[in-house]
Amino acid sequence: MAFEYVPGNTFFHKLDPRVKLMYWFVVVVLTVALGSDPIFLFLLFLSVLLVVHASKIPMSRIASFLKSVWPVAAVYGIFNLLFPPAASTFKNPWVFFYAIPPSMLPISLEGIVWMFGAMLRFLTLLLVIRTVLMITPVRDLILAFVKFRVPPEFGMALSIGFAYVPVLIDENQKIKEAQQARGFEYQYRNPLKKFDALIRRMLVPAIFNSMRRTSDISIAIESRGFGYAISHRTYMHELHLTQGDYAFLALMIIVVVVGVAVGNFGLNWVTYTNTVTLLKHLAGRV
């Protein structure tokens, strides 16, 4: 199985896998702490892209990944636009029109800002997982989980689960291209036909491929004696924190403390209403 690891000799490649997992955790915390403010979430998204660039990962891979998850992100964004969880907090919303006339499902500036924030949060969470997997061998991920006192069996399962996300996306793309080469259509105006095409022609083959890969993985694990004396096993590669690891950890601690302090769990300075107010000022509505 290809775990999407991209070999390299960059600073981020050399980081201890435990530090990389902490980086993933910090990004997740920040996406929650910063609420749905699209400006700060966009900056957070750009920071992950900077890590990708600094790791010398081909941007074509990231573009392909974002292109593949964009439809899901779009559906998630539309749902947040029509049913924003923060709708009760909207004060004097600037309503453009109603999705269901005369006065149902208002489409407002506040809802649009919330939608973009939700989409950026969703894309950032997926991108940071993909980035960590591309700069960390699965062997080191498993060892990092073990060092965090996670049972080796759980560490293996969790690592395989994380690593299988990009593989599943690539598999679905290959299935779609193979089906299209045989004359099958996926683009229908009728949503029922489109849903039926996605279920029968993409989801079913993907499930069978996943079952086949699961069997291959279990055979490979058993053939290597993974289940023998797990509590007494040793490791060929031991993990040791370097000065670079400690420096990056210190930077992450500062960033997450500041992010939490100014975000939803602290002073609440970072909120989508700031962006709404800014846009209203620019439009002369305030």
Integer CA distances (angstroms), 17 to 22, 59, 227, 240, in order:
9, 22, 23, 10
Predicted pLDDT of residue 230: 66
153 confidence band (pLDDT: 50, 70, 90): confident
**Average pLDDT for 160-178:** 74
1 confidence band (pLDDT: 50, 70, 90): very low
Mean pLDDT across the chain: 83
Predicted pLDDT of residue 24: 94
| pLDDT higher than 90, residue 54 | yes
pTM of this prediction?
Answer: 0.74
3 confidence band (pLDDT: 50, 70, 90): low
Q: What is the pLDDT of residues 264-286, one digit of tens each?
A: 887 888 888 888 888 888 887 76
More confident residue, 63 or 177: 63
Rounded distance between C-alpha atoms, residue 51 and residue 56, angstroms: 9
End-to-end CA distance of the chain: 56
Predicted pLDDT of residue 224: 73
| pLDDT higher than 50, residue 118 | yes
Domain limits, the chain:
1-136+240-286, 150-225
| CB 105 within 8 Å of CB 82 | yes
| pLDDT higher than 70, residue 166 | no
| pLDDT higher than 70, residue 186 | no
> Which amino acid is present at 48?
V
Nearest to 45 by CA among 56, 57, 34: 34
